[in-house]
Amino acid sequence: MTEPTSPHKITLITDKSKLYYGVYSFEQEKLGEIKIHRNGNSECRCTRYNIYEKEDGTQVNVTEVSRNPNLPTDHKSRFKDSIFVGKVVKWIKAVTR
């Protein structure tokens, strides 16, 4: 497994009663530029997707995570190329432009 390169803390989703589901869409990835307003300044955070770890230890690219079990269906209605990647248990890092 690759070590994270981000200096940020790795989030481990430890509450097993709250499942997190991940989906990926290239269409959504292309929309990844988000304007952030901080202290009167505008910045562009250009996150393409996030890498999460699944229960079996494999790492997957994810553009959206939710506790909603209907996420795969809801996401598919917004992004036709949506792929359900499964349950995710740990955030690894964000991939930016």
Residue-wise pLDDT tens digits, 12-22? 555 555 789 99
pLDDT band at 87 (very low <50, low <70, confident <90, very high): very high
Of 57, 66, 68, 67, whose CA–CA distance to 92 is shortest?
57
Q: What percent of the chain has pLDDT over 70?
A: 71
Q: What percent of the chain has pLDDT over 90?
A: 57
Q: What is the pLDDT of residues 65-86, one digit of tens each?
A: 999 999 999 999 999 999 999 9
Q: How far apart are CA 2 and CA 91, in angstroms?
A: 13
What average pLDDT does the chain have?
A: 82
Q: How far apart are CA 26 and CA 55, in angstroms?
A: 23
β-strands 33-38, 83-96 pairing: unpaired
- Whole-angstrom CA distances from 68 to 5, 31, 45, 71, 95 are 29, 22, 25, 5, 24
User: Please, which residues bridge with residue 34 across strands?
Assistant: 45
Q: What is the pLDDT of residues 53-64, one digit of tens each?
A: 999 999 999 999
Alpha helices (H) along the chain: 26-30, 71-78
Domain coordinates of the chain in residue numbers?
A: 20-96
Which pLDDT value is given to residue 73? 95
Q: How far apart are CA 54 and CA 85, in angstroms?
A: 9
